[in-house]
Amino acid sequence: MILKVLLVLGVIGAVYFIFFKKKPRKTKEDKKSDAQASDMVKCPSCGVYSELSDSILSNGKYYCCNECVDKAL
């Protein structure tokens, strides 16, 4: 009898942990780092938008490519 009760409780516990246990939430810092990675900036030379991580910083402005940097100088 006790074995059956333990087995039922084990099955219920397994179902709970598989289907209902919530995943850890992201903190504000995690969300900020995700947003910063995909920020888009406009090239002042040609007007094309590019990701901040792919842009070239020159004289305090973000450019999309080396040709636009050369045009601006």
Instruction: Report the alpha-carbon distance of residue 1 to residue 12 in Å, rounded.
Output: 17
- What is the structure's pLDDT at 11? 94
- What is the structure's pLDDT at 18? 85
For the full predicted model, state whether its pTM sits above 0.75.
no
- What is the structure's pLDDT at 32? 53
Instruction: Report the alpha-carbon distance of residue 57 to residue 64 in Å, rounded.
Output: 9
Higher-confidence residue: 32 or 69?
Answer: 69
Backbone angles phi, psi at 43, to 5 degrees: -75, 125
β-partners of residue 22 are: none
Burial of 2 (0-12, 13-18, 19+ CB in 10 A): exposed
DSSP 9: H
Q: What is the pLDDT of residues 19-65, one digit of tens each?
A: 887 766 666 655 555 545 568 899 999 999 998 888 999 988 999 99
Q: What is the pLDDT of residues 3-13, one digit of tens each?
A: 999 999 999 98
